[in-house]
Structures are given as C-alpha cells and as structure tokens.
Amino acid sequence: MRAGDPEQHDHHAEIAHVLRTFFSAFTSGPDVAERLTDLHDLFLPGATIVIAGDTPTVLDVDRFITPRLALLTDGRLSHFHEWEESGHTEVSGSIAHHWCTYAKAGEQEGLAFTGRGHKTVQLVRTTDGWRISALAWEDEQP
C-alpha cells in the first residue's frame, strides 16, 4: 500500500481516533470512570503495558486501568489531563506503530504538578477495528 492510497489514509484516521480516545480517558471529570472502563475496548485481550525505567513494570489491561481509575475518582488527583504533544504513526498492512511525546498536568493531594514523557503504541487491525496490542512509556525524569 502506498502512502497516498485512500485506504492508508483511513487507517491513519482510525488509529488517530484510538489514540485520542486513549489520551482523553485520562482527564478528570464527571465521566472519567466510564472513559477509563471503556479503555478495555481499545486493547486486544492479552495486551501488554510497560512502564519503562530501571526496573520495568509489566501490566495487563486490568492492572493498568484499575489503579488509574481509583486515583482519578477518589479525590487524590484533580484537574488532571494528559495529551499528546507530537507523534507519528507507521502502518504496514494490519500492524501499526505510533511513537509520541506527551505531557500531563494536574493537582495531586492539592499540589500542582506537570510532567512529560514518551510513549510507544503497537496496534493491530482486527475485524472490529484497530486495537492496541502493546504500549510502553517512560516519564522524563526531573
């Protein structure tokens, strides 16, 4: 498939929608629990999530979502949002890779904070659309 093919463009648009949905789930607000629960639909069963660092943490989808749901709904974290700053996606057939930088800001237990980092997202096209098969990220260190 050539980069200018209409079908290629449709894949990029679908993948962009998946990524927007992913990032928007991590925004404080009245429907945050629903958005985080809906994240399950973005991932393939058995997807792997890795928090990179000296000792990487490997999570399944539930172990990824559950603590974030608690943090964003129990009052410890407020005015929080995370967004992609820049990124690019490569598609080859039914697989895709997205590399991006992101930023985040909020208040945790009353103290304002900001942060930045890098994410890599692998996606696979299924009969139900594009799904995340693996995700890894690393926050920049101060």
Domain ranges of the chain: 6-139
Tally of CB atoms within 10 A around 4: 7
At residue 75, the pLDDT reads 87
Among candidates 17, 10, 37, which has minimal Cα distance to 26? 37
Q: Residue for token digits 């608690």?
A: 70
* CA angle (121 as vertex; 127, 141 as ends), nearest 5: 160
Please tell me the pTM assigned to this model: 0.89
Cα–Cα distance measured from residue 115 to residue 137, given in angstroms and rounded to the nearest whole number: 13
Residue 98 has pLDDT above 80, yes or no: yes
At residue 2, the pLDDT reads 45
User: Token digits for 48?
Assistant: 């792997």
Average the pLDDT over 96-103 and give the result: 98
pLDDT, one tens digit per residue, over 119-134 is: 999 999 999 999 999 9
Question: Model confidence at 9, in pLDDT bands (50, 70, 90)?
Answer: low
Share of the chain above pLDDT 90, in %: 87
Tally of CB atoms within 10 A around 68: 16
The CATH class given to the 6-139 domain equals alpha beta
Average pLDDT, the chain: 92
Q: Which residues contact 119 (CB under 8 A, 6 or more apart)?
A: 84, 98, 99, 100, 101, 102, 135, 136, 137
The DSSP code for 70 is H
Distances (CA, A) of 84 to 2, 26, 71, 111: 26, 12, 21, 23
Tally of CB atoms within 10 A around 16: 15
